[in-house]
Every structure is written in structure tokens, then in C-alpha cells.
Structure 1
Amino acid sequence: MISKETLFIISLFPYLGFLWLMTRAQILPRLALIGFYMTLLFVAVTIPAGIYAQVVYQKSLANVDWLHGSAEFFLTLANILVVLGFREAIMKAKEESKAN
């Protein structure tokens, strides 16, 4: 059986591939792409926060509310950027279609 840590590491490769392709293709709205990159920041923050929760509180990150909420803030920020990026692109497409 694959450990959750190994599965997590393996799952990063397709995501990094997605980011690489989307950056190269330049087909995503810039703000949305930044949001997708922010997801990596969420991961980068969550890992040390989880270790800190385990070492200091002897609990999983999910059981240390202040720390868990602080880490989840980065995921929330990433999601907001993705939504705003696509919203901006939709609004721009609507304006362009009205102009034609």
C-alpha cells in the first residue's frame, strides 16, 4: 500500500506538469494562472505547519485550529485568484462579442 506521503509527492508531478504546460501555452488568464501557482504556496505552507502541529502539539494539523486556518488561508487566496482570473476573462469575452 502506498503511504499518504508518497501519494502526495507523486501527485505533485502532474500538477507541476499542468503548470508548466499552462504557462507555456499562455491560454489561461494571468490572474488565474497566478492562483494556480498560489496553490503551490499553500502546499509549501501546509507541510511545515503540519510538522509544527505534530512536534509542538502532538496533533495533526487539522486539529490545531489556528494553525490549520492560517494554512488554509493560502488555499482560499489561491481559489479567489483563480475565480477572479476566469471572471475577468469571461467579462472581456462578453465585451468583445458585443463589440462585434
Structure 2
Amino acid sequence: MISKETLFALSLFPYLGFLWFLSRSQQVPRLALYGFYGTLVFVGITIPAGIYAKVHYGEALANVDWLHGGAEVFLTLANILVVIGFRQAVKELKGRRQEAGGKKAKE
């Protein structure tokens, strides 16, 4: 049986591949891309926070509220960037379509 720690470490490789493809696609809104990269910041914060919780408190990170909440802030911020980035892209696309529709109506 594979441990959860090993599975977590292995899951980073597909995510890094996902980020690599997103970065090169030129179709992902820049702000959303920053949000997806922000997830790596969350992981980078969570790992030492989990180690600290285990060493200092003898508990899992999920059981040390102030550390867990602090780490989750980074995931929340990353998710907000993704949502705002795609929201802006949708609004821009709708605006372009409305402009194109207005130009056709004038002709």
C-alpha cells in the first residue's frame, strides 16, 4: 500500500505538467495562471507547517487550528486569483462579442 505522503509527493508531478502546459497555451488568463501557481505556494507553506505541527505539538496539521488556517489562507488566495482571472476573461469575451454584434448590425 502506498503511503499518503508518497502519494502527495507523486501528485506534484502531474500538477507541474499541468502548469507547464497552461503556461505555454497562451489561452489561460494571466491572473488565473498566477492562481494556479499560487497552489504551489500553498503546498510549499503546508509542508513545513505540517512538520512544525508534528514536531512542536505532536499533532497533525489539521489539528492545530492556527497553523492549518494560516496555510489554508494561501489556498484561498490562489483560488480567488483563478476565479477572478477567468471572470475577467469571460467579461472580455462577452464584450468583444457584443462589439462584433453591434458592428454587424450597423452594416
- Paired residue for 1:31? 31
> Cα offset for 1:26?
1.3
**Given the two structures, how large is their TM-score scaled by the length of structure 2?**
0.92
Unaligned runs of 5+ in 2: 101-107
- Paired residue for 1:73? 73
Query: How far apart, in 2, do the equivalents of 1:43 and 1:99 lie?
Result: 42
- Paired residue for 1:17? 17
Query: How far apart, in 2, do the equivalents of 1:91 and 1:99 lie?
Result: 12
Query: How far apart, in 1, do the equivalents of 2:6 and 2:60 lie?
Result: 18
Unaligned runs of 5+ in 1: none
- Paired residue for 1:57? 57
> Cα offset for 1:53?
0.3
> Cα offset for 1:27?
1.2
**Given the two structures, how large is their TM-score scaled by the length of structure 1?**
0.99
Higher-Rg member (1/2): 2
Runs of 4+ with deviation above 3 angstroms? none
Q: Deviations over 1:38-68 (max 9, x none)?
A: 0000000000000000000000000000000
- Paired residue for 1:91? 91
Q: Residue 97 of structure 2 aligns to a residue in which SS?
A: helix
